Amino acid sequence: MTDIYEAIKADHDKHRALLETISDTSGDSQERQDAWKDFYYEVKSHAAAEEETFYSQLIADPDGQDDARHSVSEHKELDDLMEELNEIDMSSPGWLQKFKQLRHDYEHHIDEEEEDIFAKAKKVFSDEEAEKFAPRFEERKKAERKLVDQKAEKSLEE
């Protein structure tokens, strides 16, 4: 049975591949647009599901609180960068520069999760708990994927 760590890592691997695809494209090409859209929706739904099913549990434990808060804070920073990228013309040098920043920050974030946060979480959660979190994470991610556009529209209204 898949546990939460394997589920999150599988998403991270998909995200790394999408970042590579985006880096290998140029200008406002259809390939770049498609890869960016996939990355955007994947990361948005992943982060929300991760916060609700993994970090909410980790933050409830004093030993996991600081790390969970740090990661959730990074999610917000990455989200802000992605929203900025949505406002910039993909063919502009500014888009590529901002994308490189996002890629660096995101890869740092997921490496930190896989190396540091998972190690801490394994001290907090039993194997059984880690297995229970995985299906909840996947269900939440699917629901969040449907909400990404609604949330974006709502934030534009505010």
> Number of folded domains in the chain?
1
Structural domain boundaries enclosing 55: 4-157
Note down pLDDT in tens along the chain; length 158 residues: 799 999 999 999 999 999 999 999 989 999 999 999 999 999 999 999 999 999 999 999 998 899 999 999 999 999 999 999 999 999 999 999 999 999 999 999 999 999 999 999 999 999 999 999 999 999 999 998 888 766 655 544 44
Contact 57, 125 (CB under 8 A): yes
Rounded-to-integer distance, Cα 68 and Cα 108, Å? 15
At 127 the three-state DSSP class reads helix
Q: What is the CATH number of the domain that holds 113?
A: 1.20.120
- Token look-up 């039993």 returns 126
